[in-house]
Structure 1
């Protein structure tokens, strides 16, 4: 049986099962301005909530997702959600982010592809997908959109904003942009500004997508099934996947083993795969089925543009705006966002006399350890949020 053709886009589209998503649309009367100078109208955010907002609105927690995450932070897989919640181990009744105590919100970012306005969304002018017409967005643009959602949900001030990786970038920007609208901050495996090496990894992935002949400059949505930029997106994800794990994990799991039997009995065949190559191929094909190539580009560019000091004079001046209790979490084996970057966040905040704490996940799993080894930060997060909820 021939394999099912890969979709042109893995984006959620109107008419697909909604699942647990809810939708908020803004900029219907007044256009939404982006850092790039472009403005958008009729902007939608897909979001999910858990728990109940207190009468005084004091128990609201915002979760910010990473690069290829979405609003489905907790819950099972099913119609509308191909995978279970990306932080199921941390979010729910009796868990560290306790939905019996807190009103928890997670929104798919602006530029995403799981229900929020992004490149695969219909352009309000003609109903065709934005495609190449979708503008560059920044982490600050994403946060401004979330601020619109906060107003819609009657959340004047978040008890905490929590995020890992790109989610941590959003959390930092919340504290810098809206210091009176956030009571505490948890930033995990993230940074205050992207480094040259982080930008380099992102740039290689973007080239892989751009050079796919089926990318069509970003206007591929009318292509037939199997004719989208799946090769470029898969390669971009394979490149990123290498940075998400550590050398030790790859070596321990795969070693130098070949995959299956050698073709024609020749173990030195050019295209005979190692097990690690087959693993990366699996992850490449997986992302094609659940994500969109243009969104991958847009969000990756936003991460590379991330710099809390941009337009604010200096890093010190920017971080001086963070005047709330902060927890920074690093991972000792993280090669993508090394632990020194989270220690820098802690040190920058503590230097201003603001309560700050640092925790480090002791795991060989690299950058993904915050999703894999959440048990190591469960108790600190539970205690941290409990302290904030008791404070006035």
Structure 2
């Protein structure tokens, strides 16, 4: 499936205002679409990417060999069948893959925003996506789906825009981070802030960038994305003459990450994840849950150390207790949190069944 990256720049006085109070007069959004929008415009599936992902969820760009990060799931005849559905995925606000973020040029100064970029949260990201859907002419979403931070966005869609979303599929995610995950993110943040070449976020025209800090933060993240069983199976205590193989693995991912990601973006995304909580505008979880009209599917992973299944199960119980319609499924995988990117043969049939409603709804909405 050959696809092309699309870009729209929205302009206008206060075109978008963040919850922190910053108003943009210009906002660029990068996105991709797969399949065709039907006449009724009721076949839309919105895909949300995770922390370091992009709008390139499926297919291959012309002349390139860059397969989308969820390509085994999305495409003609696949679990999310683009012969049937119109799929759209946008790069979220604050990232560094085309949508406005800290590395973008601030029209007011002619220089990159850096740490002058406003503090953002996941609701801001979702609201920017809503601007994109308005631009494309979409006012109904059959399903919104994402894993990890993408799952957090999918759930936020169901809360913020309850009348637009029919179904939300939340994979390896919850409505807020645990203190342990905030702690992991805090260490990653400090790695970057304490890099001697961070320059207060104003490093874009400097000869050196905070590569060591970003690389170390990524290595920490890679540890949390996997499971102990996977590390045992893949690496054991094997080593070359200099390092353990697991050290080589982390070093590789840390170094490769600095070639494709921006340190300021990493900071803003981690800050947004840490602060996220669907209850904040409504005062309590119960009040937030009462807003949800969509059917919710949560898929947990039994070895996920970032979003353990027990929290997702508890969320579904509370949702159903308030009159909502939620379902929880768990897959078993050695992959840990990253299973949502790897084990498509396990999550795909569950997603397909939920989209096509080939499950017993009486067992779900209780």
Same fold (TM over 0.5): yes
| 1:123 aligned to which of 106, 112, 135 | 106
Report how many residues are paired: 356
Counterpart of 1:204 in structure 2 is 187
Is the 1:28–1:43 contact (alpha carbons within 8 Å) kept by the matching residues of 2? Answer: no
**1:216 lines up with 2:186 in the alignment:** no
- Residue by residue over 1:170-196, the C-alpha shift from the partner in whole angstroms, topping out at 9 and shown as x without a partner, is 111111111001111100100111111
TM-score using structure 1 length = 0.88
Counterpart of 1:182 in structure 2 is 165
Is the 1:328–1:345 contact (alpha carbons within 8 Å) kept by the matching residues of 2? Answer: no
Give the Å deviation of 1:273. Answer: 2.0
Moved over 6 A (4+): none
Give the Å deviation of 1:98. Answer: 0.8
What is the rounded CA distance, in whole Å, between the counterparts of 2:11 and 2:40 in structure 1? 27
What is the rounded CA distance, in whole Å, between the counterparts of 1:176 and 1:124 in structure 2? 33
| 1:289 aligned to which of 254, 259, 263 | 259
Counterpart of 1:240 in structure 2 is 221
Is the 2:47–2:144 contact (alpha carbons within 8 Å) kept by the matching residues of 1? Answer: yes
Counterpart of 2:42 in structure 1 is 58
| 2:312 aligned to which of 342, 346, 352 | 342
Structure 2 residues without counterparts, runs of 5 or longer: 359-366
Counterpart of 1:36 in structure 2 is 20
Is the 2:166–2:295 contact (alpha carbons within 8 Å) kept by the matching residues of 1? Answer: yes
Distance 1:78 1:344, change over 3 A: farther
TM-score using structure 2 length = 0.94
Counterpart of 1:146 in structure 2 is 129
Counterpart of 2:210 in structure 1 is 229
- Residue by residue over 1:270-317, the C-alpha shift from the partner in whole angstroms, topping out at 9 and shown as x without a partner, is xx4211111001000111111111111111111111101113111111
Counterpart of 1:168 in structure 2 is 151
What is the rounded CA distance, in whole Å, between the counterparts of 1:310 and 1:102 in structure 2? 33
**1:191 lines up with 2:174 in the alignment:** yes
Give the Å deviation of 1:82. Answer: 7.5
Counterpart of 2:30 in structure 1 is 46
| 1:367 aligned to which of 337, 341, 344 | 337
Structure 1 residues without counterparts, runs of 5 or longer: 1-18, 262-271
Q: Secondary structure at the match of 1:46?
A: strand
Is the 1:361–1:373 contact (alpha carbons within 8 Å) kept by the matching residues of 2? Answer: no
Q: Which has the higher strand share?
A: 2
**1:320 lines up with 2:290 in the alignment:** yes
Give the Å deviation of 1:27. Answer: 4.4
Counterpart of 2:237 in structure 1 is 256
What is the rounded CA distance, in whole Å, between the counterparts of 1:110 and 1:71 in structure 2? 11
Give the Å deviation of 1:381. Answer: 1.0
Counterpart of 2:245 in structure 1 is 275
Give the Å deviation of 1:94. Answer: 0.6
Counterpart of 1:106 in structure 2 is 89
**1:132 lines up with 2:115 in the alignment:** yes
Give the RMSD, CA atoms, in angstroms.
Answer: 1.5
Which of the pair has the greater relative contact order for Cα pairs under 8 Å at 6+ separation? 1
Q: Secondary structure at the match of 1:179?
A: coil
Is the 2:302–2:333 contact (alpha carbons within 8 Å) kept by the matching residues of 1? Answer: yes
What is the rounded CA distance, in whole Å, between the counterparts of 1:364 and 1:315 in structure 2? 32
What is the rounded CA distance, in whole Å, between the counterparts of 1:156 and 1:311 in structure 2? 23
Is the 1:188–1:342 contact (alpha carbons within 8 Å) kept by the matching residues of 2? Answer: no
Is the 2:4–2:61 contact (alpha carbons within 8 Å) kept by the matching residues of 1? Answer: no
Distance 1:78 1:252, change over 3 A: farther
Q: Secondary structure at the match of 2:341?
A: helix
Counterpart of 1:357 in structure 2 is 327
Give the Å deviation of 1:77. Answer: 6.3
